Each structure stands twice: as structure tokens, then as C-alpha cells.
Structure 1
Amino acid sequence: MDDAPKRLVIATRNAHKTEEIREMIGDRFEVVDVTAFPDLPEVEETGTSFLENATLKALAISREVEGLVLSDDSGLEVDALDGRPGVWSSSFGGEEGNHAKNNERMMREMAGQEVRTARFRCVMVLAEAGEVLAHFDGSVEGRVLDEPSGGGGFGYDPLFAPEGYEQSFSELGAEVKNGMSHRGRALAKVVAWLDEQN
């Protein structure tokens, strides 16, 4: 009988994200990401919701590799901006992945806004052999600050203070952030679901 752990493929090329997930999953699964499969195509995220984008990635990768595939899509939803930037969080400033430009645009659009509530949201999708098995979501409520604060983290972390805190995610540090993050909360649901299947 083969006692080797089942493989879980994370649909990302982001090593930090893979390691974060590996730590939460523990040794129940062999966690790898798409960098282990250099011939896999890039999946274009053409959806208009986190669920659509996460589903696109999970299905595309699960058709190409054996085992379970876990994908996610996440971003910042600002109430005063009608939920924007949402799925376009990483390109909000006009250039994909440019955190400084994204934060500059956020400060411009939020200047003078009294309603500053916002949330980070993450949606994760599990798929196998081209079929969706389940999807999960997690979010953390907070508010957008007037200006960036703190040098840690990435993305909108310097501009986002989670509920119950005066400091930004950048100031609070990785340990506090990861303990309440949208990705951590979604992943906890994934882990619970996987445990139920065994």
C-alpha cells in the first residue's frame, strides 16, 4: 500500500504564496506549484469576479497535471469606490504588479472620502481532472488610511488597517497579518474540507 501523501498543486508561480499554503496544509499533502511543470501555459485571468478567475486557473491547470489543484484570486474591495479595485487590484495604477502606482491611485481616489471601509477578499477553488470540487472564500474587514504607513508587507498593506487596529498591515507585520488574512481564512476552510474527505 502506498502511504505517500497525495499531491496538491498550487496554481501560482509565487513562491511566497506557495510556502504560506504549505505551512498551513502541513504534511498531509505534497505541496508543489506550477513552477514544477515548466511546460504549463500561462492562464489568462479574463473573469470579472474572484471566483471566475480562480475557477479559470484551477480548471486549466487541473486538465494538465495529476492530483488536486488549488487556485486563488484576491484583492481589495473599497466601499466608497463601489467595490473597486476588486479583481483589478494588481493593475489599478495602470501597470500590472506596480504596488507604488496602485497605492498612489488609491490615495487620489480616496482623497476627501469620509467612508473609508474596505476589505481584502480571497476566493480559492479546488479542482481535479478538469472538474471543480469546491470553492471557498475568506475576507478581512478594515479601512483605507489617508496615507501609507509602515515599510513591511506588499501591495495595499501600507494603506489598509484591519478592524480593531490603528496600524496598517505593513506596521503589524507578517505574523499578525497571516493570523487574520483573507487568504489564511479561505485556506482554513480548504483544510477543513480536505480533512472531511479523508
Structure 2
Amino acid sequence: MLLIATRNGHKIEEIKKFVPDGVEVLTLKDLNIALEAVENGDTFMENAIRKATFYANLTKKKTIADDSGLVIDSLDGFPGVHSARFMKNASYKEKMQFILQMLETKQERVARFVCVAAYYDPIEKTIVCCEESVEGTISREIRGTSGFGYDPIFIPNGYSTTFGEMGEEKHKLSHRYKAFSKLFSKLDRLLNYRI
């Protein structure tokens, strides 16, 4: 039994694709958990660990969590760990428009999506983390309706389409796919899936 510590339906859908066959998963919604983990870390790693340990200790269940975001070099890493939380109550379309305005006068548009996937076992006190990223650039306009978050403005290196235009193809390239694939591979070796 494994708890996925997020309420983001898009993330749950993506993460479930990486869970090995035979591993049963629960979500915070399944357990009617309304409490929020405090995400005030300075890094994706800190926030992912905080989420995993908070919900694992609360539920006494082995838990996976992630923290991820968009890092834009010419904006000094903004929005970074605040990707989901800046401009609170604004839609992602509004957030993307704001970012595109910030980049209007900049030639440099290098960016990356970063994801840290974390696992915590509250009984064994085991923490396993994996960090992965996908490099790319920020487009000049919002393109595509697939994916979620900032996908419609992120063009991965080697492609001319945004994540928002890719559909299923995005999953094999994404930072979350890479981080959770590596995490489950590590768990397989370390724990032999005693999940």
C-alpha cells in the first residue's frame, strides 16, 4: 500500500503510470485528509521530503510525494520552488501570461522543469529521493492544451513543440517521469517492493 501525497489530479494521473504492477495506491482524497503540509523549503528536495514525511507520519503509510517546478535562467530561477504558489488564486494561463511578459525583452529563454520524487516509510524511517530535470526553452506564446501547469510554454530541447502540444509523448520526456522511474528503480533494489 502506497500513499500518493498530492491533491493535484493531473499529478496523480501521471504518477500512477509509473507505479509498478501489483502495488496498490491511495491518495489524500481517498483518506479524506484535508491537512496541508507546509512547503516552505528553499529547494525542491526540501519540499518533497517535507510532504512525504508529513503525510507518512500522519497516516502511518509508506508515502511518495514530489515537488516540481519551472526554473528560468534569465529570471534568476523564477518561479522555481514557488511555481505552484506564486500569484495565488490565479489560473495557470494567467501565470504563463505573466511569465511571458517578464521575458518579452529577454533574448535568453533557457529553462528547465525540475522534479524531486521522495519516498518515506514512517515505520522503517527510510527516505529515498531522486531529482531529475528536462532542459528546454520558453516559447513566445502559449501553445497547446495538453498536459497541465506550464506545459504550454515549455519546449524541450530537440523539439519544436511545447509539452502542451505533445499529448502522451510528453510523459516519456518529462521530469516527473524521469524522477519517479528512477525512484521506483531504487526502491526495487533497496526494498524489493515491500510497499
Q: Considering Cα pairs closer than 8 Å and 6+ residues apart, tell me whether 1 or 2 has the greater RCO.
A: 2
1:50, 1:87 within 8 Å by CA — same for their partners in 2? yes
SS at match of 1:27: coil
Higher helix residue share: 1
8 Å contact 1:95–1:101 — kept in the other structure?
Answer: no
Of 91, 100, 105, which residue of structure 1 is paired with 2:98?
105
Query: Which residue of the other structure, out of 43, 47, 52, is the alignment partner of 1:53?
Result: 47
Determine what percentage of the aligned residue pairs are the same residue.
38
Q: Can you give the 5+ residue segments of structure 1 that lack an aligned partner in the other structure?
A: 1-6
Q: What residue number does 1:116 align with?
A: 109
Q: 1:83 aligns with which of 77, 82, 85?
A: 77
- Indicate if the aligned counterparts of 1:150 and 1:158 stay in contact, CA closer than 8 A: yes
Per-residue CA distance 1:130-166 (angstroms, 9 max, x = gap): 7352111111100001111223222211111110011
| Aligned equivalents of 1:77, 1:164: Cα separation in 2 | 18
Unaligned runs of 5+ in 2: none
User: Which shifted more, 181-190 or 49-58?
Assistant: 49-58
Q: Does 1:72 align with 2:66?
A: yes
Q: 1:96 deviation in Å?
A: 4.1
**Given residue 119 of structure 2, which amino acid in structure 1 is its aligned partner?**
L
For the residue of structure 2 that corresponds to 1:123, the secondary structure is strand
Which amino acid letter does the alignment assign opposite residue 52 of structure 2?
A
Contact 2:10–2:148 (CA<8 Å) still a contact in 1? no
TM-score (norm 2): 0.90
Residue aligning to 1:4: none
How many Å apart are 1:40 and its aligned residue?
A: 5.3
For the Cα contact (< 8 Å) 1:91–1:102, is it kept in 2? no
**Could you say which residue in structure 1 is the equivalent of 2:149?**
155
Q: Distance in 1 between matches of 2:169 and 2:130?
A: 22
Alpha-carbon distance in 2 for matches of 1:156, 1:32: 26
Q: Which residue of 1 aligns with 2:158?
A: 164
Report the residue type matching 1:32 in the other structure: L
Q: Distance in 2 between matches of 1:178 and 1:116?
A: 23
Aligned to 2:17, the other structure's residue is in SS state: helix
Alpha-carbon distance change, 82 to 59 in structure 1, aligned in 2, over 3 angstroms: same
Secondary structure (helix, strand or coil) at the match of 2:59 reads: coil
Aligned length, in residue pairs: 190
Whether contact under 8 Å (1:127, 1:134) holds in the other structure is yes
Structure 1 stretches of 4+ moved >3 Å? none
